[in-house]
Amino acid sequence: MPARHDETLIRALIDDWQDAICSGDLDRVTADHADDIVMFDVPEPVQEIGIDAYRRTWRLFFAHNPAGPERFRIDELRIEAGDRVAFAHGLLTIGGGDAHCRLTLGLRKANGRWQITHEHHSMPLGPG
């Protein structure tokens, strides 16, 4: 089934992206991202549009979160892959703490290659 093969490719892409974030390799973090990516990040602003703005969000993140395997951990990753569109979601732990964030990725296949075109990272609001 193509869908199973695509799911494997996307899982490898996300694994590599996560590893690049943990080690702070910005070129590898952005290697599989579309130029017109729309990013909804944990902190304001409400959205960042385009790969240059996307890179800036990671520079800020790297400045505040030490490198290492606990920098950016994804759990409960689920992937839905079609022929040329896919999405994935999971829980996110930053810095090894107890506070969970959430991650949703949107992907598009262009010229036989999967790219992330949308990311949504967030922290739920607590009481009060």
Q: Which residues bind its own copies (CB under 8 A)?
A: 3, 38, 40-47, 78, 80-87, 89, 91, 100-102, 104, 106, 108, 117-118, 120, 122-127
| Nearest distance in Å: CB 37, its own copies | 11
Q: Which is nearer to its own copies, 28 or 102 (CB)?
A: 102
| Nearest distance in Å: CB 125, its own copies | 5
- Distances, alpha carbon 7 to alpha carbons 14, 18, 80, 89, in Å: 10, 16, 7, 13
| Nearest distance in Å: CB 91, its own copies | 6
Phi, psi of 81 (to 5 degrees): -120, 130
Contacts of 126 (CB under 8 A, 6+ apart): none
Query: Is residue 108 classed as helix, strand or coil in its secondary structure?
Result: strand
